[in-house]
Amino acid sequence: MNTESRRRILITGMGILSPIGIGTEAFQASLMSGTSGIKKSELYEFLAAPDCCVAEVADFNDSTIKKEYLKQQRRSLKVMCREIQLGVASANLAMDDSGIDLEAVDSERFGIEFGANLMLSPPEVLYSACMASTEGTEFQYERWGSDGLPKMEPLWLLKYLPNMPACHIGIVMDARGPSNSITQAEASGNLVLGEAQRIIERDWADVMVAGVTGTRIHEVKSIHAKMWDELADSPADFSKRSRPFDKARNGQVVGEAACSLLLEEKSHAERRGAKVWGELLGTGASCVVGRDGIPDTRTSIANAIKLAFKRAGVEAGDIGHINAHGLGDTKLDVEEYQAICDIFGDKATEIPVTALKSYFGNSGSACGIVEASGSLVGLKQGVIPATLNYETQDADCPLNVVRNEPQPTDNKLFLKISTTTFGQASASVVCGV
């Protein structure tokens, strides 16, 4: 598509619930001051995460969600697990931040695009049903339908479906336009932005809520993380455990978060005098896995970046900084660096890079848009947010990591990279203001 003729998409609202703050002001203040959100869990006494070290939104609790962030949906809280609550609350915050008058919006041209992890029931929800289907120490599968399922709460399934954030948001906001849900783990954020962008470009909508929610802080999910991923277990100072690209990195920190952006067609936003956080220019996605089932993360990231650049109509030399996936994994960080080299060539070690999981860990599906929002709030101040805990350069991934303090910049164009451990990668090109 000709980038000069297609409909332009502005970011006119932002709603964030993160371990370093709820709302854009608190989030921005923590980024600018270098405040970490990683600490010992306040919500769980024990998790499979090493030392119960996590990045959680501790201030999001029963009293605040009912009184402050989910007032419009308080009657539906019983059918929302925590991830759904976080996602819906982020959309509410984004609408407040945008100042948009919903009564003035054509509901048929107002859509929802939302990303989420697969949502799991905590053990206590399944306990009675499982015990009813168990003989001695053996679970009897044939008894589940007759004895187990009747023990489940009637609306159990609705509480844990990843498409429910979009449903709840669409209902309360009377958004009757296109609606879709994406579950692609950490790649979800850029995929959500790309889908929403194309919907507006095709003239199917004027306004879209593009959001994500995710948590890896969960009795069962933390076990999965312990089994499948490299989790940081040092140093003793929890705030220093997430160390993207640093030579001493030894894994990721599990986290939770949610973030929604209001995307609006440019003339629609201008007519109402909307404030603007930035402009979404283009996205790309790729998945590369060998015949042996081993993902080729380097190639998938490079492919995603190429496609995002093509869609945005930009070149590598136009980019002001990279907002990296920066997991803190000893292997994946190197593969991300190699992909950056494949695209940026000799400039790969010069372009500024920020890695914001150092503040709030890996929240799965939520991380992409939350991290992109970090660049947007930083660029509002004319800076690139600094990466925490980057002390010693690793010769295997010698990137120009922004450290110690935010770095001033006049170039508002940035690349956001996200990837999964299964070879799925996504990228977006965004211009801040």
The domain that holds 372 is classified in CATH as 3.40.47.10
pLDDT per position as a tens digit, 403-426: 999 999 999 999 999 999 999 999
End-to-end, the C-alpha distance of the chain in Å comes to: 24
pLDDT per position as a tens digit, 361-388: 999 999 999 999 999 999 999 999 999 9
Q: How many whole angstroms separate alpha carbon 321 and alpha carbon 343?
A: 13
**Helix or strand or coil: residue 50?**
helix
Task: Report if residue 106 sits inside a domain.
Answer: yes
Residue with tokens 């450290």: 403
Q: How many whole angstroms separate alpha carbon 197 and alpha carbon 24?
A: 23
Q: Are 22 and 33 in contact (CB under 8 A)?
A: no
pLDDT per position as a tens digit, 218-265: 999 999 999 999 999 999 999 999 999 999 999 999 999 999 999 999
Does 1 have pLDDT greater than 50? no
Task: Report if residue 100 sits inside a domain.
Answer: yes
pLDDT at position 256: 98
pLDDT per position as a tens digit, 199-215: 999 999 999 999 999 99
Residue 350 makes CB contacts below 8 A (sequence gap 6+) with 400
Residue 39 makes CB contacts below 8 A (sequence gap 6+) with 53, 54, 55, 238, 239
- Rounded mean pLDDT, 129-143: 95
pLDDT at position 135: 93
Does 2 have pLDDT greater than 60? no
Domain count, the chain: 1
Task: Report if residue 238 sits inside a domain.
Answer: yes
Query: Across the chain, what does the average pLDDT equal?
Result: 96
**Helix or strand or coil: residue 110?**
strand
Task: Report if residue 316 sits inside a domain.
Answer: yes
Does 358 have pLDDT greater than 50? yes
What are the two backbone dihedrals, phi and then psi, of residue 288, each rounded to the nearest 5 degrees? -130, 120
Tokens of 204: 């199917």
pLDDT at position 3: 52
Task: Report if residue 77 sits inside a domain.
Answer: yes
Task: HSE, CB side, 13 Å, CA atoms: give it for residue 142.
Answer: 1
- 288 pLDDT band, cuts 50/70/90, is very high
Task: Report if residue 298 sits inside a domain.
Answer: yes
Between helices 24-33 and 367-380, what is the axis angle to 10°? 80
Q: How many whole angstroms separate alpha carbon 378 and alpha carbon 182?
A: 27
Task: Report if residue 248 sits inside a domain.
Answer: yes
Residue 402 is part of which domain span? 9-121+156-432
Task: Report if residue 144 sits inside a domain.
Answer: no
pLDDT at position 389: 98
